Amino acid sequence: MRSQRKNMTNSIRNTLEDMIFRGDLRSGEMLASNTELAKRFGVSTLTADRAVRHLVKEGLVYRKQGVGTFITAQKIQRTKKSIRVGIADREFPASPLWDSAMGIRTRISFQYFYKNQCEAKLIDYVTVCDSDKLADAVHDLDGLLVSAQFLDTVTIPNLQQLSIPIVVTNLEAIADLPFHEVVLDNSSGLREAAKKMMACPPEEVLIVYESHENGKNRKRIFENSICSLGYPEGRIKSYCVETDALNNGVPSYRLGLQLCSEIKGKFLFSTSDVVSFSMLEAFREKGLNVGKDFQLLSYDNLEDYGSLSLGEPFLTTIDAPKVRWAERSAELLLEQIGKPQNETMIIRIPTRLVIRKTAF
């Protein structure tokens, strides 16, 4: 319970910080009361108060006794010609799981631009789909940071018509487009895990993957890595979770129940911590001791980014370094705005193996 309160406190704090950095909450404006914040986020007034007290310590808000809480005047003095950038990405719900899995990248991007005296605004998918609306939205911008989730047959031609620097982030494979890209290198972490597993090869390897492209990509790299080290392809079984586990954990939980009868002595690789969390519920209900009865390798390292649903870091996992990924993407955009280059830059951010209780 203490861990859940801490997660919700951080989630509320991060959401309010984001609103301040983006200018949704302006200098001198009164912040909602603790009661109003508690109702909005579905928490107790004490949890809301803890989040606000963090903002007070950071100097982002100040309290007037008997009056209310107000947004502090911006500490960073803007230059006469501020750099203005757009962030084409989704807004995410205020929950610890969503924030550590997805929302953290948008929040970190805003914070990076703000700390570097830039003005940033969020651009939604509907705008990117309409060439006229997109042109109007970016007419006063110096550059655009685009999430890979916004790339499709409709949006790519619209983005190609823009004359400002564009950096595509949140990629796990090179997109082969005329934009700068910051790509997560899954090979580094998954190959490290494969070598560790092959030190004592299990009788069978089970792979649970989500049906989206990133899930398939992680599965393919791990399979190729262990097979290249001599593990027999015929001893690998794969199971696909069709539903996005962030929106619905039931399929993952049911699959966990299904695997309980056959998993002892084997090695399980799950391509998502969110899927792993749901399966762990099933394993524990059936009395399985993860890490002893079988080994579990996961992917994401959400426990290092605020999602401690198990109370403490527990999963052996592949770290997708979300903070570094978001900061390097924002940094590259500012580099291209300051000194444009004809070459297309592709930057790879390495993943790494984090060993905890469930494997190795």
Task: Enumerate domains of the chain plus CATH numbers.
Answer: 2-71 (1.10.10.10), 83-185+322-350 (3.40.50.2300), 186-320 (3.40.50.2300)
Tell me the C-alpha distance between 39 and 179, whole Å. 42
| First-to-final CA distance of the chain | 29
Q: Which pLDDT score, from 0 to 100, does residue 13 have?
A: 84
Q: Which pLDDT score, from 0 to 100, does residue 291 have?
A: 96
Residue 171's Cβ-count burial label (10 Å; 0-12, 13-18, 19+) is: buried
Structure token digits, residue 61: 């808000």
Report whether 313 contacts 128 (CB < 8 A). Answer: no
**Secondary structure letter of residue 31 according to DSSP:** P
Helices 104-115/322-338 angle, 10° precision = 40
Residue 240's Cβ-count burial label (10 Å; 0-12, 13-18, 19+) is: middle
Per-residue pLDDT tens digits of the chain, which is 360 residues long? 455 556 678 878 888 887 887 777 888 888 988 888 888 888 888 888 988 988 887 778 888 877 889 888 654 444 445 899 999 998 766 566 777 778 888 888 988 998 888 989 999 999 999 999 999 999 999 999 999 999 999 999 999 999 999 999 999 999 989 999 999 999 999 999 999 999 999 999 999 999 999 999 999 999 999 999 999 999 999 999 987 777 888 999 999 999 999 999 999 999 999 999 999 999 999 999 999 999 999 999 999 987 777 778 899 999 999 999 999 999 999 999 999 888 999 999 999 999 999 999
User: Which amino acid does the sequence have at 115?
Assistant: K
Q: Which pLDDT score, from 0 to 100, does residue 6 have?
A: 60
| Residue 356 CB partners (closer than 8 Å, separation 6+) | 313, 314, 315, 316, 317
